[in-house]
Amino acid sequence: MQKTKKIDELEVGQELPPLDLPITATLVAGGALASRDYTPVHHDRDAANAQGLPDMFMNILTTQGLCSRYVTDWAGPDAIVTRVRTKLGGPNMPGDLLKIRGKVVSTEGKDADVEVSGNNAWGNHVTATFTLRLP
Partner 1 sequence: MSDEKKKALEAQIRAFVGKPVGPVVVGRDPVNEPMIRQWCDAMGETHPAYLDADAAKKTVHGEIVAPPTMLQAWVMEGWAMHEGYDEPKNEQHRLHKVLADNGYTGVLGTNTEENYTRYLRLGETVKALTVIDSISEEKATGVGIGYFITTKTTFENQDGEDLGSMSFRVLRFKPANAQAAASKEGESKATAQKPSRIKPPMGHDNGWWWEKVASDGVIPIQRCTSCQKLRHPPRPMCDACGSQGFDAIAASGRATVHTFTVIHYPQFPGYEYPIVSIIVDLEEGERMASTLVDCKPEDVSIGMAVEAVIHEDEDGFKIPFFRPAAR
Among residues 10, 81, 105, 113, which is the contact residue for partner 1, using CB under 8 A? Answer: 81
Q: How far apart are CA 54 and CA 107, in angstroms?
A: 41
- Smallest separation (angstroms) from partner 1 to the CB of 66: 6
Integer Cα distance of 91 and 18 in angstroms: 20
Among 7, 90, 113, 115, binds partner 1 (CB under 8 A): 90
Looking at 6, 22, 77, 110, which residue binds partner 1 (CB under 8 A)?
Answer: 77
Q: Kind and range of the H or E element at 129?
A: strand 123-133
Per-residue contact string for residues 107-126; x = within reach of partner 1 by CB under 8 A? ------------x-xxxx--
Count Cα neighbours of 56 within 13 Å in the Cβ-side half-sphere: 22
* Length, in residues, of the chain: 135
CB closer to partner 1 out of 68 and 105: 68
